[in-house]
Chains A and B, each alone.
Chain A
């Protein structure tokens, strides 16, 4: 945390219409209480165990390791968590906060690929809250299966037809809903982004990933990993993993953004490669924007990384050089997607495939006694149809 409350170095803050400020203050107070409320923490941890299926395994990928003949590769299997991705950790935590501590009747959320929407709908169903999910019409078209899943879980999916009709527009619309219904409704933001306290709140619920991984690798190898790799959209799975190792100076960390068609094409979501900063959707961070400060359209094969800005803590970790940020292109991610499927029998989410792509680049160059931990943030079932389409096959 930086000097000022809600800041990571120069990044973060609270840039929202006044209508939301009382709600953010209420949320901040509830979060403060939750952190020290034993009953709340016990209920959350017991649900993580019995409902989500935690701890997720730290799996030694033997065949992948042998294939590259370099570092030992471990996968943190968030894909095995209930609903198929790490998103459930945060959605469940916030739904509990909304129902138990804030006595709200309703939760809303935005979703791009649909994973956070499905996780929120699931948590709403479990806690008995009403639920509406905002989703761009372009994403609804691309992710019809997840729309149906959310409906099955009892949530209403609200189509968003403004702007680019994708994730950022869904966030605008969800914030507008919250502005209107702030007294009854909690907004479950899906990543370590937005106005304070969201970046810290989501980090808190996702930090279980890193705490487990640290314990697991010490048990299996008796030492800490050399490198951690995770993909970075808004940045919640990566912060979740990295947070437990930030004080371990010898552990290197790599965040992988979406390189899309390549940086020169202009069609990507590599915020750190673009290097512009700005104030967007509630906080100050790196942003893909034009010279006038308008937000650019982004592109990635993976909807979960297809976002114009990045969590403020990442911006800070980038500037102090604690984490190295790089990117993988669509093509590299697709190769990694297939390689992991073939060698390990694990079909990764296209988001997570970006992390695997970076692992493929560095593993062969590292000594055999070094260790890489890749956060496999989600499973790839949701992407199979899109990959088939790209490969020109229809299923």
Chain B
């Protein structure tokens, strides 16, 4: 599977011997005007791809920072339909391709095919469903293919070789390698077992991006040695919420480190 625009972008970056910087923010946290502002800051700050979260009441794969961002967005009445309309209005004015990260239930309730059709219309380049296992994924992958949207699945340090093989096959955009601890800001010292594991994931020749709860430029630099891209979520959501005046500088430091 060759993939679509996300894959293309990552291949270009790889050909330049660079690493992708992939920041995450929550859509509608706290409102869409702010989200648009943040998207532009990230895009101008050198993001290669932006992950945009869809709020959900029960985000069980996320830690407290993103859960609270989700609650703020829900409080403002944000839903999937509004997010897709918002992206549609932005169409063309953002350099960065958008990957939508959403739990399955909002998509199921929206209508699965309608979601993919409207996402295409809104220029969504890729999708991540954190609670979709590859075993359940066939109907979603068929539609992603039809609407030329990249699929991105998660691989964990506990994933067995057999699972990894199948998961990597299901990814058309990139493979999202997640930390087992999921604890933001934990000091990153990775042992050889881990390095072997991630090298195994990379041996299938698909881009592998790592999301580790990276919270500083040093950590981003460290992780970028092993990965085709570095995903930064909680730390960015947090700085936009708590110290927005320092956000631009922080994003610049991440970009330079990766």
Interface of A toward B, CB cutoff 8 Å: 13-19, 21-23, 25, 162-163, 168-169, 171-172, 175-176, 179-180, 182-183, 277-282, 287, 289, 291-295
Contact = CB atoms under 8 A, between A and B. Distances in A.
A25 B166 CA distance: 15
B1 interface: no
B109 A292 contact: yes
Given A18-B156, A281-B58, 10 more contacts: A16-B60, A163-B71, A179-B180, A180-B180, A182-B180, A279-B105, A281-B60, A292-B110, A293-B109, A295-B57
A180 B182 CA distance: 7
24 contacts: A14-B136, A15-B132, A16-B131, A17-B60, A17-B131, A17-B154, A18-B153, A18-B156, A18-B167, A22-B156, A22-B160, A22-B163, A162-B64, A163-B58, A172-B58, A182-B158, A279-B103, A281-B58, A291-B109, A292-B106, A293-B56, A293-B106, A294-B56, A294-B79
Contacts of A13: 136
Interface string B69-86: 001001000011100000
A291 B130 CA distance: 21
B105 A289 contact: yes
Contacts of B156: 17-19, 21-22
Given A17-B60, A22-B159, A162-B64, A176 B182 contact: yes
Residue from the set B63, B103, B108 with the largest chain A CB neighbour count within 10 Å: B108
A75 to B, nearest CB: 36
* Chief secondary structure at chain A's binding surface: mixed
B163 A21 contact: yes
A340 B64 CA distance: 45
Nearest to A172: B60
Interface of B: 56-61, 63-64, 67, 71, 74, 79-81, 103-110, 130-133, 135-136, 153-156, 158-160, 163, 167, 178, 180-183
B109 A18 contact: no
A275 to B, nearest CB: 13
Nearest to B183: A180
Given A23-B158, A162-B64, A294-B74, A15 B104 contact: yes
Contacts of A294: 56-57, 74, 79, 105-106
B184 to A, nearest CB: 12
Nearest to A162: B67
B133 A278 contact: no
Contacts of A183: 158
A174 to B, nearest CB: 10
Could you say which of A18, A183, A277, A279 has the most chain B C-beta atoms within 10 Å of its C-beta?
A18
A291 B74 CA distance: 13
B177 to A, nearest CB: 10
Contact of A22 (B61, B74, B158): B158
B133 A15 contact: yes
Contacts of B160: 22, 25
Contacts of B104: 15, 279
A168 B58 CA distance: 8
A175 B159 contact: no
Contacts of B105: 278-280, 287, 289, 293-295
A21 B166 CA distance: 13
User: Taking each of B71, B156, B183, which has the highest tally of chain A beta carbons within 10 Å of its own beta carbon?
Assistant: B156
A180 B61 CA distance: 11
B64 to A, nearest CB: 7
Nearest to A169: B58
A19 B80 contact: no
Contacts of B183: 180
A347 B74 CA distance: 42
A22 to B, nearest CB: 4
A163 B154 contact: no
Contacts of B74: 294
Contacts of A19: 61, 154, 156, 158, 178, 180, 182
A187 B60 CA distance: 15
A23 B180 CA distance: 12
Contacts of B109: 278, 289, 291-293
Contacts of B110: 292-293
A293 B80 CA distance: 9
B135 A293 contact: no
Nearest to B81: A292
Best-buried of B63, B64, B74, B105 by chain A (most CB within 10 Å): B105
B182 A279 contact: no
A180 B81 CA distance: 33
A154 B241 CA distance: 40
Contacts of A18: 133, 153-156, 159, 163, 167, 178
